[in-house]
């Protein structure tokens, strides 16, 4: 048995012991894999995916989540969340994720109880344990468990296991919420979330694939592209296309990060993690 | 000033530019496409240089020059 097969068997065992689960589902790499194993292990009648409908969830990601849930036979519940009404969240402090996840889990944990589901889980993985993730505190406070992290399964392993299962999510870029692009201390507003979503969508229409972020810093948009394609887009003829796309979303100034994409780079800029 | 010292180092690499500090991001503002091309070509070197000055990253402003905005 390969090391990854052993990991998956441990995950299945963990889920079996839990008997039934509600999964905080986003349609991303991690929660899609977790949901696929849960449906296979427990059956669709003892597995429920729940997705928080929020302005910080890009429309494209929402559509993807629905498609993936349908493809793996995951029953999916869509639940409205109201974190934008919470002034602690909207002020965008460095622990903003705590307030967002508090809101999310305060709706999903009761839903699990109502449906008679024994455990509430999320797709956090072992790599997430090394980053600054205040949202994990909110999850822990409500008894939400993270089996992938608990069993030491990393993002790379989840991608490999997802690929082996034929899950379309295996190569999907990480997709954190749109609010994660707004500099801490700059309030999260519908307008700013919309700017980020439109700018990233416009860049995707240029054919940019893989990890991509447009960091919102007031009137400045800072584009982060994957290292492998960064040099291609820095050529002046092509960088003009980037400028046009991002300015169309309402940013007067556009800069491109010469280090390229780094997950959690705002945490580095604010000195919350080394880097 | 650190930004000025960083700008002088960039000038030594053949890049005439201004540097604006935004948080821990050193934003390189050039006035000519040729300078932008040099920055792009020496990207890794410039990032390492920026880190040496204590910046988290360096970024090239693409809207610093009207010429870059023309259709």
Cβ distance B69 to A230 less than 8 Å, yes or no, reads: no
C-alpha B9/C-alpha B28 separation (Å) is 12
Disruptive mutation site among B20, B36, B56, B67 for chain A (greatest number of A CBs within 10 Å): B56
For residue A275, the chain B residues in CB contact (below 8 A) are: 56
- Burial code (b: 16+ CB inside 10 Å, e: under 16) for A11-20 equals beebbeebeb
Beta strands in B1-71 (DSSP E): 17-22, 25-30, 57-61
Using alpha carbons, list the distances in angstroms from residue A110 to A22, A52, A72, A113, A241: 10, 14, 25, 5, 47
Average confidence score pLDDT of chain B: 84
Each residue's pLDDT tens digit, A166-177 = 999 999 888 788
pLDDT at A261: 92
Least confident of A64-78, A203-217, B19-33: B19-33
- Residue A54, φ and ψ in degrees, nearest 5: -140, 155
Contact criterion met (CB below 8 Å) for A68 and A27: yes
pLDDT at B70: 39
Q: Would the pLDDT of A221 be above 70?
A: yes
CB atoms within 10 A of CB A187: 11
Q: Is A124 helix (H, G, I), strand (E, B) or coil?
A: coil
Alpha helices in A152-255 (DSSP H): 155-165, 190-205, 227-234, 236-247
A105 vs B68: which has the higher pLDDT: A105
For residue A236, the chain B residues in CB contact (below 8 A) are: 33, 36-37, 68
Contacts of A10 (CB under 8 A, 6+ apart): A151
Residue A223 forms beta bridges with which residues? A214, A256
Residues 146-185 (A) with a CB less than 8 A from some CB of B: 183
Is residue A66 very low, low, confident or very high in pLDDT (cuts 50, 70, 90)? very high
Alpha-carbon dihedral sign for residues A201, A73, A158, A123: positive
pLDDT at A268: 66
CA proximity to A199, closest of A181, A187, A183: A181
Residues 22-61 (B) with a CB less than 8 A from some CB of A: 22-25, 27-28, 33, 36-37, 39-40, 43, 46-47, 50, 56-61
Is residue A246 very low, low, confident or very high in pLDDT (cuts 50, 70, 90)? very high
pLDDT at A275: 64
Q: Would the pLDDT of A245 be above 90?
A: yes
Which pair of tokens denotes residue A97? Answer: 């994720």
Rg from Cα positions in chain B = 11
Average confidence score pLDDT of chain A: 93
From the list B37, B46, B71, the residue facing A258 with the nearest CB is: B46
- Portion of chain A with pLDDT greater than 90, in percent: 81
Q: What is the mean pLDDT of residues A5-19?
A: 97
Residue A255 at interface with chain B, using a CB cutoff of 8 Å:
yes
C-alpha B42/C-alpha B51 separation (Å) is 14
Is residue B66 very low, low, confident or very high in pLDDT (cuts 50, 70, 90)? very low
A240: closest CA of chain B, how far (Å): 6
Q: Which residue of B has its CA nearest to A261?
A: B57
Contacts of A78 (CB under 8 A, 6+ apart): A50, A51, A53
């Amino acid at each position: 048995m390969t090391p990854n097969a052993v990991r998956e068997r441990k995950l299945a065992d963990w889920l079996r012991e839990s008997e039934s689960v509600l999964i905080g589902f986003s349609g991303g790499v991690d929660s899609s894999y977790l949901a696929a194993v849960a449906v296979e292990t427990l059956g669709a009648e003892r597995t429920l995916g729940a997705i928080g409908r929020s302005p910080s969830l890009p429309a494209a990601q929402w559509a993807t989540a629905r498609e993936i849930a349908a493809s793996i036979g995951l029953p999916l519940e869509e639940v409205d969340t109201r974190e934008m009404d919470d002034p602690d969240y909207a002020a965008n402090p460095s622990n903003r994720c705590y307030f967002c996840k508090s809101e999310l889990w305060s709706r999903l944990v009761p839903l699990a109880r109502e449906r008679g589901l024994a455990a509430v889980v999320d797709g956090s993985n072992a790599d997430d344990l090394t980053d600054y993730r205040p949202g994990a505190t909110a999850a822990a406070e409500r008894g939400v468990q993270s089996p992938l992290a608990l069993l030491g399964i990393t993002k790379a392993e989840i991608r490999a296991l997802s690929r082996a299962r034929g899950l379309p999510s295996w190569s999907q870029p990480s997709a954190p919420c749109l609010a994660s692009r707004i500099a801490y201390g700059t309030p999260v507003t519908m307008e700013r979330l919309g700017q980020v979503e439109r700018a990233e969508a416009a860049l995707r229409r240029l054919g940019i694939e893989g990890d991509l972020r447009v960091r919102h810093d007031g009137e400045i948009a800072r584009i982060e592209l994957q290292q492998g394609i960064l040099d291609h887009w820095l050529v002046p003829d092509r960088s003009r296309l980037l400028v046009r796309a991002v300015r169309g979303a309402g940013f007067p100034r556009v800069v491109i990060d010469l280090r390229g994409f780094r997950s959690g780079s705002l945490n580095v800029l604010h000195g919350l993690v080394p880097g | 000033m650190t930004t000025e010292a960083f700008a002088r180092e960039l000038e030594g690499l053949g890049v005439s530019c201004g540097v604006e500090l935004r948080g821990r991001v050193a934003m390189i503002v050039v006035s000519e496409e040729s300078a932008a091309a040099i920055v792009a070509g020496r990207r890794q070197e410039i990032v390492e240089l920026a880190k040496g000055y204590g910046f988290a990253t360096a970024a090239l402003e693409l809207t610093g020059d009207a010429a870059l905005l023309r259709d």
